[in-house]
Amino acid sequence: MNIDRLKELCLIPGISSREEKIREKIIQNLNPRKYYVDKIGNLVIRKGTGNKKILLMAHMDEIGFLITSIKENGNLILRKVGGIPDEIIQSRYIEIVTNEKIIQGVIGAVPPHLKKDNVSFELVGNVGLNTKEDVLNIGINIMDYAVFKKNFINIGNYISCRALDDRFGCFVLEEVYKNSSPKNEVIFAWTVQEEIGLKGAKALSNELSEIDLAIAIDSFACCSRQNQHIKPGDGPVIRFADNSGISSFYYSKKIVELAKKNNIPIQLGTTGGGTDGSIFVDKGTPFVALSVAVKFLHSTVEMIHINDLENLIKLLKIISEEEL
């Protein structure tokens, strides 16, 4: 398992609707003979033949900010894209992504010395310039975007980085695509705009027909009162219920049986949020959400256990090669 490849994917910026850099890297990494990119940016590659069609999905987009205006004093007015908790925003380094380059910046904070004067926090970025004209002259424009500056580190048996949600899923799909010999027809899809309402999956569900099973590879937030039994390092998680849908009982049981047969640890849990897979139920397609437990989800220090990542790759490889 090439952790450097996962690092590479995590460090690429790409908020919802701006996934082009991640998509280009995945195509470069896999160099597939045939693939297509649909009108909104979903990347689709097919592999194998068989009686059943299995769709494996992971989303490319991450949470971040759109630049919606530039103030006369040079500050960038930012709009949140995706579910960013307010408490993680202040006092952060950011990267502003323009058409030509990446520019370093910050989101500031109100010093305690000024709070007594009722100075309040404003969600703006600062790139060290004091006029709108200077900001425009370095190439920053409205509709550019920003992401939190990322640091990819190993902590014991864990990996920590912003955007592990869902770049770990993108990485897992790459590994399964490269190392499996499917007995089914497996459709690998790297989707867009998941963080703002599963938009890419909705488009994909209209494009793909006669799918027998849709599997979404995405994060599992741990650990709340409803899922305290989920332990990072104890195996992948079947996310059998969340706010968007309920995984197929039939296929969940099948996957548990396959995991046990192949000595792969697996866990079952419920959480909030939603995954791309749930969209396919409206089209008459059963789905299963497969995850790994993520500590501090939607923060700048997301963490996953390396063993869970390895076991998820093994499990998906087996699923693609079995007659479900």
**Domain containing 42 — which CATH number?**
3.40.630.10
- Is the pLDDT reported for residue 222 higher than 90? no
pLDDT digits (tens, 9 = 90+) for 266-320: 999 999 889 999 999 999 999 999 999 999 999 999 999 999 999 999 999 999 9
* Same-domain status, 213 and 73: no
Q: Is 194 a catalytic residue?
A: yes
Q: What is the mean pLDDT of the chain?
A: 95
Give a yes or no: residue 238 inside a domain.
yes
Answer with the one of 88, 123, 148 that is the final residue of a domain: 148
Residues 110 and 219 both lie in one domain: no
Pair (200, 76) in one structural domain: no
Task: Tell me whether residue 221 is in a domain.
Answer: yes
Using CA atoms in the order 52, 30, 173, 214, what is the torsion angle rounded to 10 degrees? -30
| Residue at 85 is within a domain | yes
CATH number of the domain residue 116 falls in: 2.40.30.40
Residues 38 and 172 in one domain: yes
Per-residue confidence band for 166, with pLDDT thresholds at 50, 70 and 90: very high
Domain assignment of residue 205, yes or no: yes
- Domain check: are 168 and 306 in the same one? yes
Which of 98, 117, 148 marks a domain boundary?
Answer: 148
Q: Domain for residue 157, yes or no?
A: no
Running DSSP on this structure, what letter comes out for residue 282? G
Per the domain annotation, does 87 fall within a domain?
A: yes
Residue span of the structural domain in which 174 resides: 3-62+162-321
Sign of the Cα torsion 95, 190, 246, 256 reads negative
> Binding site annotation covers 165?
yes
Q: Are residues 55 and 121 in the same domain?
A: no
CA 275 – CA 56 distance, rounded (Å):
12
Q: Do 170 and 267 reside in the same domain of the chain?
A: yes
Domain check: are 108 and 183 in the same one?
no
Per-residue pLDDT for 209 more than 90?
no
Q: Which of the following is catalytic: 19, 95, 175, 194? A: 194
pLDDT tens for each residue of 6-53: 999 999 999 999 999 999 999 999 999 999 999 999 999 999 888 899
Residue 235's pLDDT band, with cuts at 50, 70 and 90, is very high
pLDDT tens digits for range 47-106: 988 889 999 999 999 999 999 999 999 999 999 999 999 999 999 999 999 999 999 999
Does the annotation place 174 within a ligand binding site?
no
Q: How many domains does the chain have?
A: 2
Residue 287 lies in a domain: yes
**295 in the same domain as 236:** yes
pLDDT band with cut points at 50, 70 and 90 for residue 118 = confident
- So what's the pLDDT on residue 225? 74
Q: What is the DSSP string of 170-227?
A: HHHHHHHHHH---SSEEEEEEES--TTTSHHHHHHHHH--S-SEEEEEEEEEE--GGG
The reply to whether 218 sits in an annotated binding site is: yes
The position carrying tokens 């049981």 is 253
Please check whether residue 156 lies inside any domain of the structure.
no
In sequence order, the β-bridge partners of residue 58 are: 190
For residues 50 and 69, membership in a common domain is answered with no
Note the pTM of the prediction, 2 decimals: 0.95
**In the listed set 81, 114, 148, which residue is the last one of a domain according to the structure?**
148
* 234 in the same domain as 100: no
Residues 10, 82 within the same domain: no
